[in-house]
Structures are given as C-alpha cells and as structure tokens.
Amino acid sequence: MLLPNELKVFEVFERMGKEANTEESDIWADGFTKPLFRGLRPEDGLIDIGCGHGRLVPILPDLCIRREQYLGIDFSPEQIALARRLYPKHRFEVRTIYELSTSYPGRFGGFWLGATLMLLPRERVPEALRSIRGALKPGARGFISTPLGDHDGEVGDGITIALYEIHEIKQMFSEAMLEPDIVFSPDDFMILGSFTAA
C-alpha cells in the first residue's frame, strides 16, 4: 500500500512514461562509481532500484556490468514499458522497493539506488532499506545518490522530497546491515555513497 506522497510520485512518473520523457541522462560513470562493481561475479546480478526508463543502461559497460547481470525495477508500469521499448535486450520488472526481499531473496551482488531515496516517505525508509538488504548476498556492493540537506522540501506537483545529511545516511544504512564504505558530498548538493551488505 502506497502512502499519499508515494501516490503523487507514482502519478507523476506514470505521466512521464506516457509522454515518453527520456531527457538526456544525468548519470555517468566516474572514478568513484567505475570500480564499485568490478568484483561482481558472472552469477551475481545488479539491481537498479527505481530504474525509470532505464537511464542507467547506457553506462553499464563503464561499470563492468553485462546485460545479463542487470535487472531494472520501478513501481511505475509506464516507466517500465518505456524502458522495455528503449532497451529490449535488458530485463525490467514492475516492483516496489518494499517487495525486493520477498521477490528476490539473497539474489544480487550489487545494487544501484540513484535519486530514489529522496522520493520515499521518511517513515518507510527503514522498511525499504531492510528490503534492499534482504535481496542482497553477503558482501554485495551498492551505490546511492541523494540530495543533501537539513530539511525536506516540495518540488512541484505536491511532491515532498526527503533531504538527508551524511550522518543520517550512514546511520540508516548501518541499521539495515548495509555498512558504509565511503559517503561524501562532492558539491554541497548531493550525497554519494558506497555500501557493503553485512
């Protein structure tokens, strides 16, 4: 069951999917993200949580991720339909973040959580992180990006986004048995982090 803010986010992303909104991706591989998944074994998959229209797919080779290792999930059927049209050789499924541990128990060796945490209601973040952890193998590596800030804000369409400080991110992930490796802000606007599943 989605909470009111989650329903608003859902409506916006459904509309974006119908409008085929595929603006140029703001995702790139850099010195921080490139080495994260180099140790991923062939049988270990990467789950892209909140994949939208598949915006991570173009940089998968830079991350040393093969097509068959990738699974993109999003709660918006329209976004998943668009991703499947754009990248028909990659796998995408409609799922919420809260279903991961039951749908894919202990399956993945890596996760990507880009610009998704900010859209979750604060009160559901512990549940979401436990669900992510439940879908991971011990030692799995993960990446997050989320806006930095000391208060939540509204961004339009009645959507509130959650902003976090670095110490909050470290604590929340640690409590979900996702141990922080490196968590930092490169620009006083975003938090980037890598984590290892305990």
pLDDT tens, position by position, 87-100: 999 999 999 999 99
DSSP class per residue in 115-133: S-GGGS-GGGHHHHHHHHH
Task: Tell me how crowded residue 100 is: count the other CB atoms within 10 A of its CB.
Answer: 24
- State the chain's maximal CA–CA distance in angstroms: 42
Query: Looking at residue 29, what is its pLDDT?
Result: 67
Query: Looking at residue 156, what is its pLDDT?
Result: 75
Q: What does pLDDT average to over the chain?
A: 90
Helices (DSSP H) in the chain: which residue ranges? Answer: 4-18, 77-86, 100-103, 125-134, 166-175
pLDDT at 4 over 80: no
Express as a percent the part of the chain with pLDDT over 90.
71
Cα separation, 88 vs 31, whole angstroms: 29
Residue the block writes with tokens 């669900």: 131
pLDDT one-digit tens code per residue, 22-73: 555 556 668 888 899 988 998 899 999 999 999 999 999 999 999 999 999 9
pLDDT one-digit tens code per residue, 111-149: 999 989 999 999 999 999 999 999 999 999 999 999 999
CA 197 to chain centre: 15
Query: Looking at residue 14, what is its pLDDT?
Result: 74
Query: Looking at residue 19, what is its pLDDT?
Result: 67
Query: Looking at residue 6, what is its pLDDT?
Result: 81
Predicted TM-score (pTM) of the model is: 0.91
pLDDT at 12 over 90: no
Query: Looking at residue 31, what is its pLDDT?
Result: 80
Q: Which helix (H) or strand (E) holds 48?
A: strand 45-49
